[in-house]
């Protein structure tokens, strides 16, 4: 697959605060790539650097395998944080400015306003719009010129549930059309619903990166207890049956290795003269997995 964005050793600090540190990412054509992390993890800083708003301290990035330049940015549709337009201009005039910057025809304005469901408000001033409309206008502006890559930073930030659904729908439509999407969000559910690849950031460092299905699958976990939980934990820790053993409310919480079933655990305990009197199989939520991943480091 063709490389769209390559980030190598990117670092940025604001005075004494480290925003991102030695970040490496590769994003290929057609991917819906999520950058997931709690607030302050460096998502916006990363996207601000690759869209030319701020400069990195160290490292480099390449768009389409080339040195970054202003011309490339005209072929990328971006929305970084809240959209900022001229408050005294109408939506149409604001988009005309973007068309002039990108060098695209004004004829495209109608199409993007239609996609963003803003056609009826095209004569309204930007200052008179609701937050949701402003956000949709930001996405409409990003879509001008039909760019192959969309870079969206927290596109649903501050929106009500209806607004979130509307924006999400627009973004999913774009992904279905085959556009490469780079989406930064702190909402796991959003990334899970829209993206196929994800990079998880915390304190400016990359914790994990890969396909969503691999990184954020719902692990099966089992809850067990026996006469001597401490001994069972010790035995399980030294076995190859489990990925992880935790204690919680007098129970052992096991994350099983692949191809290991609860019956195998039962047999293992029995062979160690331990009788299991409680066993419950359940799925661990994505949310808890994400929180654990972020907490662990």
Write out the residues near another protein by the rule CB under 8 A. Answer: 51-54, 69-74, 78-80, 83-89, 93, 96-98, 100-103, 141
Q: How far apart are CA 170 and CA 156, in angstroms?
A: 11
Q: How far is the CB of 82 from another protein (least distance, A)?
A: 8
Three-state SS annotation for 116-167: CCCHHHCCCEHHHCCHHHHHHHHHHHHHCCCCCEEEEECCCCCCCHHHHHHH
> Toward another protein, which CB reaches closer, 62 or 125?
125
Q: How far is the CB of 181 from another protein (least distance, A)?
A: 16
Q: How far is the CB of 257 from another protein (least distance, A)?
A: 46
Q: How far apart are CA 260 and CA 121, in angstroms?
A: 58
DSSP bridge pairs for 223: 253, 280
Q: How far apart are CA 89 and CA 74, in angstroms?
A: 22
Q: How far is the CB of 140 from another protein (least distance, A)?
A: 12
Q: How far apart are CA 267 and CA 213, in angstroms?
A: 30
Q: Are 37 and 19 in contact (CB under 8 A)?
A: no
> Toward another protein, which CB reaches closer, 110 or 210?
110
Q: How far is the CB of 111 from another protein (least distance, A)?
A: 17
> Toward another protein, which CB reaches closer, 52 or 163?
52
- The arrangement of strands across the sheet holding 149-153 comes to 76-79, 149-153, 180-185, 32-36, 197-202, 205-211
Q: How far is the CB of 79 from another protein (least distance, A)?
A: 8
Q: What is the largest CA-CA distance in the chain?
A: 78
Q: How far is the CB of 230 from another protein (least distance, A)?
A: 54
How, if at all, do strands 149-153 and 180-185 pair? parallel
Q: Are 163 and 22 in contact (CB under 8 A)?
A: no
Q: How far is the CB of 91 from another protein (least distance, A)?
A: 13
User: What SS3 state is found at 287?
Assistant: helix
What is the Cβ-side half-sphere exposure of residue 197, based on CA atoms within 13 angstroms? 16
């Amino acid at each position: 697959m063709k490389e769209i964005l390559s980030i190598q050793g990117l670092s940025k600090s604001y005075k004494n605060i480290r925003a991102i540190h030695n970040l490496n990412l590769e994003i290929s054509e057609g991917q819906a790539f999520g950058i997931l992390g709690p607030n302050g993890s460096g998502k916006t800083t990363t996207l601000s650097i690759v869209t030319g708003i701020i400069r990195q301290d160290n490292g480099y990035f390449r768009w389409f395998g080339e040195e970054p330049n202003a011309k490339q940015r005209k072929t990328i549709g971006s929305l970084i944080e809240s959209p900022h337009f001229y408050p005294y201009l109408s939506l149409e005039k604001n988009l005309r400015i973007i068309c002039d910057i990108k060098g695209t025809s004004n004829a495209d304005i109608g199409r993007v306003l239609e996609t963003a469901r803003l056609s009826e408000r095209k004569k309204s001033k930007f200052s008179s719009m609701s937050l949701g409309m402003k956000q949709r206008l930001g996405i409409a502006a990003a879509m001008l010129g039909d760019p192959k890559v969309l870079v969206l930073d927290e596109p649903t930030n501050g929106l009500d549930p209806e607004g979130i659904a509307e924006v999400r729908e627009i973004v999913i439509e774009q992904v279905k059309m085959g556009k490469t999407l780079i989406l930064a969000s702190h909402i796991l559910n959003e990334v899970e619903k829209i993206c196929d690849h994800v990079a998880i950031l915390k304190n400016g460092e990359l914790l994990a990166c890969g396909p969503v299905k691999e990184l954020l699958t719902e692990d099966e976990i089992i809850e067990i207890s026996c006469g001597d939980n401490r001994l069972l934990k010790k035995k399980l820790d030294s076995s190859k049956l489990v990925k992880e053993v935790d204690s919680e409310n007098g129970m052992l919480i096991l994350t099983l290795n692949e191809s290991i079933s609860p019956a195998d655990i039962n047999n293992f305990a029995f062979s160690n003269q331990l009788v299991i009197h409680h066993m419950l199989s359940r799925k661990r939520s994505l949310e808890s997995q994400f929180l654990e991943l972020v907490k662990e480091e």
